[in-house]
């Protein structure tokens, strides 16, 4: 039996409308709700981002003081909500399209972590400021690092694990104390060679730029201050940063662009994240300080990515990161006391 033919001169039948199929992925910059799995997440997410941009403009040009603080708090809150919702929308679209990695883009998660860290900082800092409480620099550094770590873990849990994109095991969180300790010690042995290469690179960078950036955890001159900085910089920060940059971001990129490109991307983002807040009296000074701060972090960033991929264990990169930071913090403290 054959299909009836269209009479000569008659208009061709109108083709049916195209309906998105499971292999068609709607990106975050495709501004349509037709065919989306969760259009509300997409729409509300973008509205929150637009609101964050408007609030940021008010914070920048509306002056400082209490009003400025409130506008910044609202800015980061709206940005956090928007990024989380867009991450959920992206995860649903990628899962429906059968993507190799069916979760939010690493940069989206990293930006959400930054925004939520600011919100958490306001939530802790404003009450302390209101009651006139004062804390020492080492204790303040420890609190700030702890807040950031909690936010990093919460963001990964909410946006990645909660969305079913990656499991803890897939991100290298291998269970078992004995295995974790063995992997951490295996990573720690690379700290010496990496510090040696970093020192040579630091000398070259300082010679070129003529500036020396301040350590994020500067020497305190006290045993209590050293202890606080070791807990913050050699225990809490390495675990949270490795989960975010290696366990999550590198693993996600590895599924989409390959191992080498994933190591390179995660390393670049890791370096940039550590120079974002580097500043100076002049733009030229800030640029030089950022150059030096970025260059000295390249060896450790690449090695952390390599050892994570090589071992498949997050504990290995945590062990290297923790030992690297711990040695540098201790040497800086000893050097300051010797002066």
DSSP codes of every residue in 34-66 = TT-S-HHHHHHHHHHHHHHHHHHHHHHHS-SHH
CB 87 within 8 A of CB 252: no
Residue whose token pair is 């290297």? 320
CB 159 within 8 A of CB 104: yes
Q: Tell me the whole-structure pTM to 2 decimals.
A: 0.88
pLDDT digits (tens, 9 = 90+) for 217-269: 888 888 999 999 999 999 999 999 999 999 999 999 999 999 999 999 999 99
Please report the pLDDT score of residue 338 as a whole number. Answer: 64
CB 112 within 8 A of CB 80: yes
CB 173 within 8 A of CB 314: yes
CB-count exposure of residue 81 (10 Å: 0-12, 13-18, 19+): buried
In this model, does residue 129 exceed pLDDT 90?
no
Sign of CA dihedral 220, 242, 296, 331: positive
pLDDT bracket for residue 300 (50, 70, 90): very high
In this model, does residue 339 exceed pLDDT 60?
no
Q: What is the mean pLDDT of the chain?
A: 89
CB 138 within 8 A of CB 228: yes
C-alpha 82/C-alpha 73 separation (Å) is: 14
Percentage of residues in the chain with pLDDT exceeding 70? Answer: 91
C-alpha 96/C-alpha 263 separation (Å) is: 27
pLDDT bracket for residue 47 (50, 70, 90): very high
C-alpha 104/C-alpha 166 separation (Å) is: 10
Q: Of 87-91, 171-175, 304-308, which range is least confident?
A: 171-175
In this model, does residue 14 exceed pLDDT 60?
no
């Amino acid at each position: 039996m054959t299909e009836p033919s269209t009479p000569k001169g008659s208009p061709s039948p109108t083709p049916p409308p195209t309906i998105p199929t499971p292999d068609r992925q709607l990106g975050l910059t495709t501004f349509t709700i037709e065919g989306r799995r969760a259009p509300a997440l997409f729409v509300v997410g973008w509205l929150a981002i637009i609101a964050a941009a408007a609030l940021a403009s008010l914070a920048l040009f509306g002056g400082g003081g209490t009003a400025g603080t409130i506008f910044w708090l609202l800015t980061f809150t709206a940005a956090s909500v928007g990024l989380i919702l867009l991450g959920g929308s992206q995860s649903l679209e990628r899962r429906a399209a059968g993507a190799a990695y069916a979760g939010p883009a690493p940069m989206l998660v990293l930006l959400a972590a930054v925004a939520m860290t600011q919100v958490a900082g306001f939530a802790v800092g404003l009450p302390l400021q209101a009651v006139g409480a004062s804390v020492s620099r080492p204790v303040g550094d420890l609190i700030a690092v702890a807040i950031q770590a909690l936010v990093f873990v919460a963001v990964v849990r909410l946006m990645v694990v909660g969305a079913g994109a990656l499991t803890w095991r897939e991100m290298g969180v291998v269970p078992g104390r004995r295995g974790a300790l063995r992997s951490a010690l295996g990573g720690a042995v690379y700290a010496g060679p990496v510090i040696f290469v970093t020192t040579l690179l630091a000398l070259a960078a300082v010679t070129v730029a003529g500036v020396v950036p301040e350590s994020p955890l500067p020497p305190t001159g006290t045993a209590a201050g050293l202890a606080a900085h070791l807990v913050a910089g050699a225990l809490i920060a390495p675990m949270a940063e490795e989960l975010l940059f290696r366990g999550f971001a590198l693993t996600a990129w590895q599924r989409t662009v390959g191992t080498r490109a994933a190591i390179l991307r995660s390393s670049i983002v890791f370096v940039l994240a550590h120079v974002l807040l580097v500043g100076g009296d002049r733009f030229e000074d800030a640029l030089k300080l950022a150059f030096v701060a970025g260059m000295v972090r390249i060896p450790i960033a690449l090695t952390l990515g390599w050892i994570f991929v090589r071992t498949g264990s997050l504990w290995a990169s945590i062990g290297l990161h923790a030992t690297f930071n711990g040695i540098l913090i201790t040497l800086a403290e000893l050097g300051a006391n010797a002066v």
